[in-house]
Amino acid sequence: MKSDTTANVKNGTLRAPLKRRGMAQDVADRIRDAILAGEIPPGERINEVEMAASLSVSRGPVRDAIVLLRQEGLLQGDWHRGSRVTVFTHKDLEEIYSLRYSIELLAVQRLIAHRTERDLDLLQVRAEDIERAAALGDRGEMLQSDIAFHDAIYACAGHERLEQVWLGLRSQIALLLLNRQQGHDDYRTRIGPEHWEMFRVIRDKDGAKAEELVREHIETAFERIKADLDSKERLQGAG
């Protein structure tokens, strides 16, 4: 006797949602890439009809993609008002960076305790990618390589749930880094040395220095982005 599951698969009832889900993920990837390339700025609304037309898909996958991107924190809004690219508040910044400090410190500590030569090889490649992107002045590559370095830290830390927490914050942090690099020219000069120094303390298993670097790295980013937000609010108030 065939099970209900076998019958459902044969009849195709489990296949269609998987296909649409795959398309929704593709659409989400395209929208995410556009947001993180600065092509869709914070506060801009996502028009489902226009987006579906530009991507040559129906509105269904676009709606599903919007749900995914809301879960990532890249979009905000509701079905009545529509969705827009996230505009971060001071509360958002404090929550994101306080959480990031906690999880990144734990990830680096675990990596120092258990790191392998293969882990170091991966981190070295990621640091080289950052250095190359900074030398070229390619902002898109700098952002991607910055995030990829931290992806590697969490992947090598050997803590799956910790990595999942990072992945839940990853897109929001990338959007904040995009705002930071647009507002500060020193991002290009700082990004390489900062990540090479982190590589060295992990290689040398210097836990005390690692804690200092994580705190400094995250506090610096937080303060610069907060200053940008303060400046924008003052300009809006003056207007």
Instruction: Judge whether residue 17 has pLDDT over 60.
Output: no
Reported as a pLDDT band with limits 50, 70 and 90, residue 53 is very high
**pLDDT tens, position by position, 71-93:** 999 999 877 778 999 999 999 99
The pLDDT score that the predictor gives to residue 229 is 82
Contacts of 218 (CB under 8 A, 6+ apart): 97, 100, 101, 104
pTM for this entry: 0.85
What is d(CA 125, CA 121) in angstroms, rounded to the nearest whole number? 6
Q: Rounded mean pLDDT of 58-81? A: 91
Maximum distance among all alpha carbons in the chain? 74
